[in-house]
């Protein structure tokens, strides 16, 4: 149960004064949540400095001023179109306040003649006098201090303007209760941090522009709080997974030796190391939950296969789940080829294809006659029952998140399978912790020998004709090329249109040697185009990012990417990884639409300089921040509200160690500090993990 002290923060936004349903919806669009707590993390993006408080005679034209003066006569307009005027005066002169379409009653109440008032707004010289049109604030003399201050302003959305947003945030922040300290006192002292509530108040009371950044002490403290909540949740998840009994899987090595013996190459040192780590986990009686991380082309597939064979050698089954139909088919073909002559039965199960063949396959899976099953999400539908699933391999994990991992584990009855997740997304180490903190990690940090670098060029879109001319020459020499059009909209409809336009244009040059593949096509039609490209019937494949993951055409040597500035670096890197797979020289052209911002230029430069995916990811994180690293929300990475993974990167390992130590000392979070930590986890919406304490 959520600690009662937090209840005011988990009330609906509409409970705040001045926030009706309409404004609440607009605020929700800006802050991404419907509860009071969501406003706490909505930090100011600018300040308005109202400290300048001159006498009326000294007001410079155009200045933002806060003036204290006595209210004089009201000048009520005779026509609606005329403005309402009120004159104020101090000992030095007169100032006119101007209101259009004014509510006279309201103004008379706000500005009673003879009273002293504080008004703040932008002053303008007009007809020999000074005036303020629609002052931002009108207050009493008693409110002078609070008005003559630095005022925070917040990011807005359509439907909510500055003042209501400020008011709502202030009201929310005022509801924040003091909470017991959950941080290590030594850490707090070292960093010079204030308690939670004070830090929150300070983050919303910037003293100037310099206080608007995540590097300030209050923002670091709040960011650390969130990182700690995240790490605790992941460690609880991990502990829960591991507490469930697993099984010790040690095969006799027979199948593995046969497959290894038939390989035309030797495993790299990185592959051998990763495989040893995986087999070690599988042989242990507890459950495996391991991430196999490796850049495109680092050779994850064969490592996964050898792990699956270890399971098959014991008489059990293994499954390999891919994110798309195309990839599942490709994996199936590759595994079959690698296992040729080894006598392993490998089935393919996807969402497509119904009827007898499928029924038969399901029966064989249930009977254990099919030893390895490759498939899409369809693998984990109710109708699929494994005879004895010992290992589940999940490819391209970045499309799945922690929740999907939990669901997958729940799908299987009996002793739960070991889980190996493969990710080709080069994620910086810091992010690995936030996304995969519940898993052990093996990294393939070395590529198989013989890879040639991909010559990468960055060019403005104005030189498109030149690129096409060079492509014509390359195609005449037998080259195959990808031409990628960017993601324009979430729906994919616009991307398809852009790709169709480019396809039509290139058809006039390449005729029927060019094909088109995008996400709006029927999957079967798309697969067909891809297959024709793979077979060499097509020389140029115009595509949206559907080709991003895993498609393998070793003969392709040219990659052209339009509007490269719109892609995440990791994504560009993945796309580029589609070429340079065979023995031939390959090239990649990154076309951009000028003008490029300096950051955008620097990002594309990184790609030109290096092909090391992990370095690219680290640089991208540094340049753009984590939010955009993978370009899309579906990245599966956790979304942080306060923590800024670029600015707070140094705090992540600290949070990790802290969380470890905390759960060592107080596994049930029962101590006073443990209970404060539970509150913290509720505060950041990580409470689902609390249910795992003592469960399982």
Least distance to ligand ADP, CB of residue 554, Å: 7
Torsion of CA 576, 579, 583, 587, to 10 degrees: -70
- Is residue 574 near ligand ADP by the rule CB under 6 A? no
581, 552 Cβ separation under 8 angstroms = yes
d(CA 460, CA 454): 19
Mask of contacts with ligand ADP, 414-453, x by CB under 6 A?
----------x-----------------------x-----
Least distance to ligand ADP, CB of residue 609, Å: 22
- Is residue 580 near ligand ADP by the rule CB under 6 A? no
With CB under 5 A as the contact rule, which of the stretches 6-14, 109-117, 356-364, 550-558 interacts with Mg ion? 550-558
With the C-alpha atoms ordered 337, 338, 341, 344, is the resulting torsion angle positive or negative?
negative
- Is residue 297 near ligand ADP by the rule CB under 6 A? yes
Q: Which of the choices Mg ion, ligand ADP, none does residue 271 contact, using the CB cut-off of 5 to 8 A by kind?
A: ligand ADP
Least distance to ligand ADP, CB of residue 270, Å: 9
Backbone angles phi, psi at 366, to 5 degrees: -65, -30
What are 132's two structure tokens? 């303020």
- Is residue 278 near ligand ADP by the rule CB under 6 A? no
Q: Which of the choices Mg ion, ligand ADP, none does residue 267 contact, using the CB cut-off of 5 to 8 A by kind?
A: ligand ADP
Q: CA angle, 394 as apex, 390 and 400 as ends, to 5°? A: 130
SS3 content of the chain, % helix, strand, coil (to 5): 45, 20, 35
d(CA 561, CA 287): 42
C-beta of 203 vs 303, nearer to ligand ADP: 303
With CB under 6 A as the contact rule, which of the stretches 193-201, 300-308, 402-410, 683-691 interacts with ligand ADP? 300-308
C-beta of 246 vs 550, nearer to Mg ion: 550
Alpha helices in 314-442 (DSSP H): 325-338, 356-367, 402-410, 429-436
C-beta of 231 vs 301, nearer to Mg ion: 301
Strand-strand pairing, 46-49 and 150-153: antiparallel
Q: Give the N- to C-terminal CA distance of the chain in Å, as an integer.
A: 19
Least distance to Mg ion, CB of residue 258, Å: 22
- Is residue 409 near ligand ADP by the rule CB under 6 A? no
Return the bridge partners of 589, or none.
457, 560
Least distance to Mg ion, CB of residue 151, Å: 53
Mask of contacts with ligand ADP, 302-321, x by CB under 6 A?
x-------------------
d(CA 561, CA 485): 6
Of 210-269, which residues contact ligand ADP (CB under 6 A)? 265, 267-268
What are 445's two structure tokens? 């940090």
Least distance to ligand ADP, CB of residue 577, Å: 7
Q: Which of the choices Mg ion, ligand ADP, none does residue 426 contact, using the CB cut-off of 5 to 8 A by kind?
A: none
What are 474's two structure tokens? 């390359």
Least distance to ligand ADP, CB of residue 294, Å: 5
487, 513 Cβ separation under 8 angstroms = no
Q: Which of the choices Mg ion, ligand ADP, none does residue 294 contact, using the CB cut-off of 5 to 8 A by kind?
A: ligand ADP
Contacts of 133 (CB under 8 A, 6+ apart): 83, 97, 98, 99, 100, 121, 122, 124
How many residues in the shown chain lie near ligand ADP by CB under 6 A? 14
d(CA 197, CA 177): 7
C-beta of 169 vs 572, nearer to Mg ion: 572
108, 136 Cβ separation under 8 angstroms = no
C-beta of 160 vs 549, nearer to ligand ADP: 549
- Is residue 365 near ligand ADP by the rule CB under 6 A? no
Contacts of 184 (CB under 8 A, 6+ apart): 658
- Is residue 298 near ligand ADP by the rule CB under 6 A? yes
Applying CB under 6 A, among 293, 301, 350, 587 the residue interacting with ligand ADP is: 301
Mask of contacts with Mg ion, 505-544, x by CB under 5 A?
----------------------------------------
What are 482's two structure tokens? 């990808």
d(CA 64, CA 133): 12
Q: CA angle, 606 as apex, 516 and 399 as ends, to 5°? A: 50
- Is residue 300 near ligand ADP by the rule CB under 6 A? yes
3-state secondary structure of 375: strand
C-beta of 208 vs 449, nearer to ligand ADP: 449
- Is residue 474 near ligand ADP by the rule CB under 6 A? no
Residues forming the site for Mg ion (CB under 5 A): 550
Residues forming the site for ligand ADP (CB under 6 A): 265, 267-268, 271, 294, 296-302, 424, 448
């Amino acid at each position: 149960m959520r600690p009662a002290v937090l209840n005011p923060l988990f009330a609906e936004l509409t409970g705040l004064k001045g926030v009706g349903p309409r404004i609440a919806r607009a605020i929700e669009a800006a802050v991404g949540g419907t509860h009071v707590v969501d406003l706490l993390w909505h930090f100011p993006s600018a300040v308005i400095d109202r400290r300048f408080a001159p006498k009326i005679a000294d007001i410079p034209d155009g200045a933002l001023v806060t003036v204290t003066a006595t209210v004089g006569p009201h000048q009520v307009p005779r026509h609606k179109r005329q403005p309402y005027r009120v004159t104020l005066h101090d000992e030095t002169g007169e100032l006119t306040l101007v209101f259009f379409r004014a509510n006279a009653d309201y103004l008379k109440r706000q500005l009673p003649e003879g009273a002293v008032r504080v008004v703040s707004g932008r002053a303008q010289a007009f007809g020999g006098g000074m005036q303020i049109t629609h002052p931002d604030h009108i207050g009493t003399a008693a409110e002078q201090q609070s008005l003559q201050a630095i005022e925070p302003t917040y990011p807005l959305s359509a439907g909510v303007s500055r003042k209501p947003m400020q008011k709502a945030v202030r009201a929310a922040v005022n509801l924040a209760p003091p909470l017991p300290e959950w941080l290590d006192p030594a850490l707090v002292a070292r960093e010079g941090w204030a308690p939670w509530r004070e830090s929150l108040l300070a983050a919303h009371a910037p003293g100037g522009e310099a206080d608007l950044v995540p590097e300030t002490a209050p923002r670091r403290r709040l960011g650390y709080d969130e990182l700690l909540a995240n790490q605790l949740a992941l460690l609880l998840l991990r502990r829960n997974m591991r507490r469930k009994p697993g099984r010790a899987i040690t095969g006799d090595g027979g199948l593995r030796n046969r497959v290894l013996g038939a390989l035309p190459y030797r495993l790299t040192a990185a592959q051998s190391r990763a495989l040893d780590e995986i087999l070690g986990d599988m042989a242990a009686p507890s459950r495996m939950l391991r991430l196999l991380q490796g850049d495109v082309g680092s050779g994850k597939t064969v490592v996964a296969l050898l792990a699956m064979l270890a399971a098959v050698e014991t008489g059990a089954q293994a499954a390999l789940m891919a994110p798309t139909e195309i990839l599942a088919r490709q994996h199936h073909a590759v595994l079959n080829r690698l296992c040729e002559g080894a006598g392993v039965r490998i089935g393919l199960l996807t969402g497509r294809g119904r009827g007898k063949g499928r029924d038969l396959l399901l029966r064989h899976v249930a009977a254990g006659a099919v030893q390895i099953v490759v498939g899409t999400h369809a693998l984990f539908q109710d109708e699929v029952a494994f005879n004895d699933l010992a290992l589940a391999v999940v490819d391209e994990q970045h499309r799945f998140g922690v929740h999907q991992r939990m669901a997958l584990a729940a799908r299987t009855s009996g002793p739960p399978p070991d889980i190996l997740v493969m990710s080709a997304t080069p994620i910086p180490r810091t992010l690995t912790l936030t996304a995969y903190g519940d898993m052990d990690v093996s990294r393939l940090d070395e590529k198989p020998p013989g890879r040639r670098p991909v010559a990468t060029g960055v060019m403005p879109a104005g030189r498109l004709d030149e690129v096409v001319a060079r492509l014509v020459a390359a195609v005449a020499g037998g080259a195959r090329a990808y031409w990628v059009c960017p993601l324009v909209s979430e729906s994919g409809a616009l991307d398809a249109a852009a790709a169709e336009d480019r396809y039509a244009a290139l058809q006039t040059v390449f005729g029927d040697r060019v094909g088109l593949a995008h996400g709006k096509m029927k999957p079967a039609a798309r697969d067909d185009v891809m297959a024709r490209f793979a077979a060499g019937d097509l020389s140029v494949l115009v595509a949206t990012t559907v080709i991003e993951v895993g498609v393998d055409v070793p003969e392709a040597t040219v990659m052209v990417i339009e509007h490269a500035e719109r892609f995440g670096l990791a994504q560009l890197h993945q796309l580029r990884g589609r070429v340079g797979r065979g023995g031939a020289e390959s090239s990649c052209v990154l076309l951009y639409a000028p003008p490029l911002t300096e950051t955008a230029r620097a990002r594309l430069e990184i790609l030109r300089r290096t092909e090391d995916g992990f370095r690219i990811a680290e640089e991208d994180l540094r340049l753009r921040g984590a939010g955009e690293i993978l370009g899309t929300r579906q990245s599966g990475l956790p979304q942080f509200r306060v923590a800024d993974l670029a600015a707070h990167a140094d705090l992540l390992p600290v949070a990790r160690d802290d969380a470890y130590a905390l759960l060592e000392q107080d596994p049930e979070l029962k101590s006073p500090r443990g209970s404060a930590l539970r509150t913290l986890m509720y505060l950041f919406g990580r409470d689902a993990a609390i249910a795992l304490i003592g469960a399982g």
